[in-house]
Every structure is written in structure tokens, then in C-alpha cells.
């Protein structure tokens, strides 16, 4: 691995500081930024990843969607439907091959932890609200629960975990016409946990197989949980829990439950804090460390230096003190409205780091639709890019020669309605990382 070049410069505060130099600098540590950094590193570049806060993966389900709906219609094969998207859609910018390449990088990083590589077809996963949703890759812990598998299913909820009401979800899935029958039951999580325990508390108890007090004495929690369910199993062929079955030891937890119950065990993806999303983030971070990507987290990039149409450096801000990072190529992967890569006030919408142009209507009453699930222009807010993913200014020229953008910061796609969030991050992160890495090598 190359050594970081260190050079003394004059910082804006007048004090001498140590400058940090890399070949590729990625701003934003979400799925898009991590993918770009990893791909650029594979290109042989020396890569720095700067990230301010936790990525949106802690909110996300942990599923990896490519495309679930096109023109509002459910899509069975996302790769078939890509060409029906508008030309300004990020997928059209990078092309089908980049979508596959991004996904294949994902498969390498996640290995056994994810399923879905055997087919191009979308899978339908039960949601914690009781619908099903189309996705391309799903955690192994979710796999036995797929809706297309015709099984008698028992869903189990915990009475203090209000985000998953198993009997309601079961009735909802029936209304959605899923094959097989679905029943739901609510039980108390064994042991004396506070009513407000966080999901991580249950997960940890299962990871460590903590001893809990039950009516029949002290029992390891996995066994106690299995015992709680015995009388409810009936003819069920698989049993689904909210995704709280362990953090680090989830496979062991699931296997223990499967062997006690004698049927398949699966998990239903949940909202924040999402253990599946956090687990996905951890897998990528391990891969980044292995690839030698340097991660600097905790402070936002607030300033940059540019000359001759190129970004020379960016600076993070730590309590008012700037730290500059120099590089040859930059990737902007700061996320969309949720990740704060796109910001707004009453007057307009901006990309706050480089002030790249963000197309939007002048009148803020044209940013939204009147219905909650309407076609919201705001959901598509983001920078517009050329086919090399370089952000475009208002006149359609590249903002900077050595700046590319990836992931949620890109405009032109309503990932929530399309079910395309992680897919766009993977495809564009891959394309931006490869191009930045290659350019840095020249």
C-alpha cells in the first residue's frame, strides 16, 4: 500500500498544518460513497473517504433494490425495464452494464450474507407494514420468508415492539394475495426487559444467549423464545420475526431457533434503527479497510479550493478549524435530502458543498404534490450530470473536470416510488469510482 504523502502548508487560520494528499477523495460515506471508494481502490488509486455523519443505511431496510416499479407498474425483471426509464435517469446515464457491475461488486462484498444472485427476477419481501415489496438482493436472514414461496407462515411479533404488529401484517399479506396462509401472533419477549428497550437490546440478548427468568426458571433466551412459540406453531412451515434476531451472531441465533422449532426461521426488515442496514454498512466498511481506503469521519466538508476548472482540495470543519484534503479526483456522494447532500430553504434548493446547480421550480409550492403518495418533484431533486457523472451547471457544462457525483445526490429518480435506492447508489458509485480511479492513474 502506498504511503500517505504529507506536506506542510499554510492553513487559512495562519497556523502550519499537515496537508493530506490522496489520489481520489470521496465525500460521503453512504452506500454510494463506499462503493465509489472501493471501486477506485480496485483501480489501484490511493483513496480517502470523508464522511460527516452515519449514512442513511441505519434508516434503510437493508434490502437492495434495483428497480421495482416502472411507470407505476410492478416490474418482475428490473434489467428488462431499465431501458424504459427517461434518459436523464441515473441508470440511463451509466448504462445497464454499470448496473450489473455495481451489483456484482455488492455481491463480492457481501458474499454469504445476501441472496438473490441466482436470478435476475425481483423477489417480493414481506414488509413490516404487511405489504410485499420488490427487491433484487436480500439478506440471507430474510431469504426463507420470500412471498413467492408457497408456505404456511407464522409471523411473530413482540408486544413491546410496536412497529411490527404480526396479526395485522398477516391479515394484510393475505389481502395482498400472497400464496400460502399467513397467521400472526404477538408474544412477550422472554425475560424482564423494559417496555422501551431498543431493538439492539433484544439483539444483544440473543447474540449472547443471555439467561433470562421465565415461569419455568432461568433459561437461555434463545431456548426460552423457542419455547414461547411452541404452542403457536401449529402447522406452520416457516416462522418470521421482526429483524432483531442478533447483530454479530445472527446466523447462530437463527440456526438455534430453527433447530429448536424444526422449521425455517426468517426475519422481516424493519425501519430505524435497522439492524439489517447497519449490518450492511459494517460489511462495506470491512471491505474498505481491506482495500486500504482511508476513512476520516465525524466532520463535514464545508469548503473547497478550485482553480483551472478543477477542484484542488476540500476542507472539513472541526469546531471552526479547517483540515484540507488534496486529491486529483473527487467524488461527491453526500446523499439526497435525507443525507443532507441536497439542502433547501424557502428560496431554493442547493448542493451545499460545491454549490453545484440543482434544477428545481422557483415556486416552492411546485416542489410537492398535494397527496401524500403523489408524484413529488422534491423526491427527484439532485444534481444533473453528464454521461461521465460530472455535475452540470445551469448551462449544461461540467461544473469541474475532476468532480463526479454518485448516489442520492443525483437528481432525476424518485427512488422511494421506484424502489431503486441502493441500486442507483451501487451503479453510479461503481461508475464514478472507476472513472475517478482511472483518471487518477493517468
Partner 1 sequence: MATETEALVIGGGSTGCGIARDLALRGVDTTLVERGNLTHGTTGRMHGLLHSGGRYAVSDQESAAECIAESRVLREIASHCVEMTGGLFVQLPADDDEYFEEKLAGCRDCDIPAEVISGEEAREIEPYLTRDVERAIRVPDGAIDPFRLCVANAADAEKHGARIETHAEVTDVLVEDDQVTGVEVRHESGPGKRSHHEPGTTERIEADHVVNATGAWAGELGAMAGVEVEVRPSKGVMTVMNTRQVDTVVNRCRPKGDADIIVPHETACILGTTDVEVEDPDDYPEEQWEIDMMIDTLSELVPILSEARTIRSFWGVRPLYEPPDTGTTDPTDITRQFFLLDHADRDSLEGMTSIVGGKLTTYRLMAEQITDHVCEKLGIEGNCRTAEQPLPGSEDFSVLRDYMEEFGLRSPVGRRSAERLGSKADEVLKTDDPNPVVCTCEAVTRAELDHAIADAGTDLNATRIRTRASMGNCQGGFCAHRIAALLHPEYDEATTRTALDELYEERWKGQRHALWGEQLSQAMLNHALHATTMNRDRDPAASDDGIEYDRFDAGPPTPEAAADGGRAGACDGIDDGEDDRGD
Ligand X SMILES: Cc1cc2nc3c(=O)[nH]c(=O)nc-3n(C[C@H](O)[C@H](O)[C@H](O)COP(=O)(O)OP(=O)(O)OC[C@H]3O[C@@H](n4cnc5c(N)ncnc54)[C@H](O)[C@@H]3O)c2cc1C
CB of 75 to partner 1, least distance (A): 10
Burial 285-314 (b: 16+ CB within 10 A, else e): bebbeebebbbbeebbbeebebeeeebebb
> Which among partner 1, ligand X, none contacts residue 341 (Cβ within 5 to 8 A by kind)?
ligand X
Number of residues lying near partner 1 (CB under 8 A): 87
- Joined together, the cell numbers standing for residue 133 give 415489496
Nearest to 361, CA basis, from 385, 373, 344, 340: 344
Q: Is residue 144 close enough to count as binding partner 1 by CB under 8 A?
A: yes
Q: Is residue 72 close enough to count as binding partner 1 by CB under 8 A?
A: yes
Pick one of 2, 4, 5, 76: the residue that binds partner 1 (CB under 8 A): 76
> Which among partner 1, ligand X, none contacts residue 261 (Cβ within 5 to 8 A by kind)?
none
Q: Is residue 376 close enough to count as binding partner 1 by CB under 8 A?
A: yes
CB of 333 to ligand X, least distance (A): 5
Taking CB under 8 A as the criterion, which residues in 299-358 touch partner 1? 336-338, 340, 343-346
Nearest to 63, CA basis, from 270, 253, 264: 270
User: Cell match 469546531: residue?
Assistant: 319
Q: Are the CB atoms for 42 and 347 separated by under 8 Å?
A: no
Q: Are the CB atoms for 40 and 437 separated by under 8 Å?
A: yes
CB of 134 to partner 1, least distance (A): 7
- Residue 148 or 211 having the CB closest to partner 1: 148
Pick one of 52, 89, 93, 172: the residue that binds partner 1 (CB under 8 A): 172
- Residue 168 or 350 having the CB closest to ligand X: 350
Give the integer Cα–Cα distance in Å for 289 and 78.
32
Burial class of residue 319 in the structure, from the number of CB atoms within 10 Å of its CB (0-12 exposed, 13-18 middle, 19+ buried): exposed
DSSP secondary structure letter of residue 383: B
CB of 159 to partner 1, least distance (A): 6
Q: How many other C-beta atoms can be found within 10 angstroms of the C-beta atom of residue 194?
A: 8
Give the integer Cα–Cα distance in Å for 132 and 124.
6
Q: Which residues contact 168 (CB under 8 A, 6 or more apart)?
A: 130, 184
Q: Which residues contact 363 (CB under 8 A, 6 or more apart)?
A: none
Q: Is residue 112 close enough to count as binding partner 1 by CB under 8 A?
A: no
> Which among partner 1, ligand X, none contacts residue 345 (Cβ within 5 to 8 A by kind)?
partner 1
- Residue 34 or 221 having the CB closest to ligand X: 34
Taking CB under 8 A as the criterion, which residues in 180-199 touch partner 1? 188, 194-196
Q: Are the CB atoms for 164 and 157 separated by under 8 Å?
A: yes
What string of DSSP letters covers 192-218?
A: ---TT--HHHHHHHHHTT-EEEETTEE
Nearest to 233, CA basis, from 342, 320, 156: 156
> Which among ligand X, partner 1, none contacts residue 120 (Cβ within 5 to 8 A by kind)?
partner 1
Q: Is residue 225 close enough to count as binding partner 1 by CB under 8 A?
A: no
Taking CB under 8 A as the criterion, which residues in 29-68 touch partner 1? 56, 59-61, 65, 68
- Residue 309 or 374 having the CB closest to partner 1: 374
Pick one of 131, 211, 260, 302: the residue that binds partner 1 (CB under 8 A): 131
> Which among ligand X, partner 1, none contacts residue 337 (Cβ within 5 to 8 A by kind)?
partner 1
Q: Rule CB under 6 A: which residues touch ligand X?
A: 27-33, 50-57, 59-61, 63-65, 300-301, 333-335, 338-341, 353, 407-408, 415, 421-423, 425
> Which among partner 1, ligand X, none contacts residue 331 (Cβ within 5 to 8 A by kind)?
none
Amino acid at each position: 500500500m502506498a504511503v500517505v504523502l504529507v506536506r506542510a502548508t499554510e492553513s487559512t487560520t495562519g497556523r502550519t498544518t499537515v496537508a493530506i494528499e490522496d489520489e481520489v477523495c470521496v465525500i460521503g460515506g453512504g452506500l454510494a460513497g463506499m462503493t465509489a471508494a472501493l471501486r477506485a481502490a480496485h483501480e489501484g488509486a490511493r483513496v480517502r473517504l470523508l464522511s460527516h455523519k452515519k449514512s442513511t443505511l441505519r434508516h434503510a431496510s437493508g434490502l437492495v433494490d434495483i428497480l421495482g416499479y416502472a411507470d407505476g407498474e410492478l416490474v418482475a425483471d428490473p434489467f428488462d425495464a431499465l431501458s424504459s426509464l427517461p434518459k436523464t435517469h441515473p441508470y440511463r446515464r451509466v448504462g445497464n452494464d454499470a448496473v450489473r457491475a455495481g451489483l456484482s461488486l455488492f455481491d463480492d462484498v457481501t458474499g454469504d450474507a445476501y441472496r438473490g444472485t441466482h436470478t435476475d427476477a425481483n423477489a417480493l419481501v414481506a414488509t413490516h407494514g404487511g405489504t410485499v415489496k420488490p427487491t433484487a438482493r436480500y439478506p440471507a436472514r430474510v431469504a426463507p420468508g420470500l412471498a413467492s414461496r408457497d408456505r404456511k407462515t407464522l409471523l411473530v411479533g413482540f408486544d413491546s415492539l410496536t412497529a411490527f404488529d404480526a396479526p395485522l401484517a398477516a391479515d394484510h399479506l393475505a389481502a395482498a394475495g400472497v400464496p400460502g396462509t399467513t397467521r400472526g401472533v404477538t408474544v412477550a419477549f422472554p425475560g424482564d426487559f423494559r417496555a422501551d428497550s431498543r431493538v439492539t437490546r433484544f439483539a444483544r440478548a440473543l447474540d449472547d444467549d443471555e439467561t433470562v427468568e421465565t415461569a419455568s426458571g432461568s433459561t437461555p433466551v434463545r431456548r426460552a423464545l423457542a419455547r414461547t412459540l411452541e404452542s403457536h406453531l401449529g402447522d406452520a412451515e416457516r416462522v418470521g420475526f421482526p429483524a432483531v434476531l442478533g447483530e454479530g451472531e445472527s446466523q447462530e441465533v437463527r440456526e438455534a431457533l430453527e433447530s429448536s422449532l424444526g422449521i425455517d426461521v426468517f426475519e422481516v426488515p424493519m425501519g430505524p434503527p435497522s439492524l439489517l442496514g447497519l449490518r450492511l454498512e459494517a460489511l462495506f466498511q470491512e471491505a474498505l479497510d481491506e482495500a486500504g481506503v482511508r476513512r476520516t469521519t465525524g466532520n463535514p466538508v464545508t469548503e473547497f479550493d478550485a482553480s483551472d476548472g478543477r477542484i484542488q482540495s476540500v476542507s472539513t470543519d472541526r469546531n471552526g478549524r479547517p483540515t484540507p484534503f488534496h486529491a486529483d479526483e473527487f467524488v461527491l456522494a453526500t446523499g439526497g435530502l435525507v443525507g443532507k447532500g441536497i439542502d433547501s430553504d424557502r428560496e431554493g434548493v442547493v448542493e451545499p458543498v460545491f454549490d453545484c446547480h440543482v434544477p428545481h421550480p422557483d415556486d416552492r409550492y411546485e416542489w410537492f404534490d398535494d397527496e401524500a403518495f403523489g408524484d413529488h418533484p422534491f423526491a427527484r431533486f439532485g444534481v444533473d450530470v453528464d454521461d461521465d457523472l460530472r455535475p452540470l451547471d445551469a448551462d449544461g457544462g461540467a461544473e469541474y473536470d475532476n468532480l463526479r457525483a454518485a448516489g442520492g445526490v443525483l437528481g432525476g429518480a424518485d427512488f422511494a416510488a421506484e424502489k431503486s435506492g441502493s441500486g442507483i447508489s451501487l451503479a453510479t458509485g461503481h461508475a464514478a469510482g472507476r472513472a475517478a480511479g482511472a483518471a487518477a492513474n493517468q
